[in-house]
Amino acid sequence: DPSPDELCRLAVRLAGQAGELMLSHRAAGFSVASKSSPTDVVTDADHAVEELLRAELARCRPGDAILGEEGGASSGTWLSEHRARDERGAERSDGLANPVRWLLDPIDGTVNFMLGLPHYAVSIAAQLHGRTVAGCVLNPVSGEQFRATLGGGSYLGDRRLIGPRRVPLAEAVVATGFGYDPGLRARQGEQVGRLLGRVGNLRRQGSAALDLCALAAGRVDCYYEGPLGEWDFAAGLLIAEEAGVRSSGLYGRPAGTQLVAAAHPDQAAEFFDLLTELGVAKPD
Ligand code: LIP
């Protein structure tokens, strides 16, 4: 198996290439289309950046599985030419499958990119046997490069990140985001309206990946959002957790596509209880 450091070095290199391509598209102009709703936009820059990432991964690590926001899932290849088969010749599931899967969000914060708000990022995460072990999030405008490896800590450039400050929830600055469906957004707006009287303030910056990096860097105190794509949060969540943050999906679940909630370990239980009270996620 490749080491987390090896996968992180590749993610950092690819993020740098992706950042340059993003900025060139931003300068040269780009086309815009909508996906699930008129507010769920995608640009040709999103597609170009993901195609670059996929091509580089195919060159550097042929056969790895990939899940990208725009291109969907491509399964990894079997490492051994001989496919494991049982006595009836049926393919067995315990064959030597490729253990690496990449999660790609070519532009997280696409609406910000489209409008020229300088707060968007490429997010690249690498999983090994289903667990995220390396991640990189790069804001090409600020040049801020966040990265982490499982057990290796998280960094902004060469600065080690130590997570959010320890404050009472009533003083906490909470980052969140809202969905593309108008009905969902209305419900989320009602929930956040009730949240505001219980915390210090709110930040809605438009990129889940950068929100989680802000948490790791102590620029916000808490974060929650859902639903999200795996590609939105995989790298940022590793960066936050490696900075000492505690995460949850509520109801005893790990953080995931239904909800990512995260805070300082000393504040997390109270924050998660508040989110449960507000109904931001449902029990199974
Ligand atoms: C965005 C997320 C953001 C969320 C937006 C959108 P995209 O991802 O990063 O946190 O609130 O609705 O999902 O679509 O820009 O890659």
Are 80 and 95 in contact by the 8 Å Cβ rule? The answer is yes
Residue carrying the six token digits 């209305």:
186
pLDDT given for residue 39 in this prediction? 87
Ligand 1 pocket list (CB less than 6 A): 69, 105, 108-110, 177-178, 180, 206-208, 225, 232
The ligand 1 atom at the shortest distance from the C-alpha of residue 229 is 13
User: What CA–CA distance (Å, rounded) separates 239 from 143?
Assistant: 17
pLDDT given for residue 108 in this prediction? 98
pLDDT given for residue 78 in this prediction? 61
pLDDT digits (tens, 9 = 90+) for 78-91: 655 444 455 566 65
pLDDT for 98 beyond 90 = no
Q: What is the pTM of this model?
A: 0.93
CA of 44 relative to ligand 1 center, distance in Å: 17
pLDDT digits (tens, 9 = 90+) for 242-283: 999 999 999 999 999 999 999 999 999 999 999 999 999 998
The ligand 1 atom at the shortest distance from the C-alpha of residue 120 is 15
Q: What is the mean pLDDT of residues 19-31?
A: 96
Query: Which of 27-41, 161-175, 176-190 bottoms out in mean pLDDT, i.e. has the lowest?
Result: 27-41
pLDDT given for residue 95 in this prediction? 52
Opening angle at CA 69, ends 68 and 71, nearest 5 = 60
The ligand 1 atom at the shortest distance from the C-alpha of residue 205 is 10
- E-strand spans in 116-251? 121-128, 131-139, 144-149, 153-156, 159-160, 173-176, 201-203, 222-225, 246-248
The ligand 1 atom at the shortest distance from the C-alpha of residue 107 is 16
Query: Which of 20-29, 54-63, 95-104 bottoms out in mean pLDDT, i.e. has the lowest?
Result: 95-104
The two three-digit tokens of residue 217, written as one number: 């860097």
pLDDT given for residue 81 in this prediction? 45
Q: Which contiguous run of DSSP H or E holds residue 267?
A: helix 265-278
Residue 153 region by backbone torsions, left for phi larger than 0, else alpha for psi between -120 and 50, else beta: left
Which mutation among 207, 230, 237, 260 tests ligand 1's pocket best, with the greatest number of atoms within 8 A of CB? 207
pLDDT given for residue 184 in this prediction? 96
Percentage of the chain lying above the pLDDT 70 cut: 93
User: What CA–CA distance (Å, rounded) separates 99 from 77?
Assistant: 10
Mean model confidence pLDDT for the chain: 93
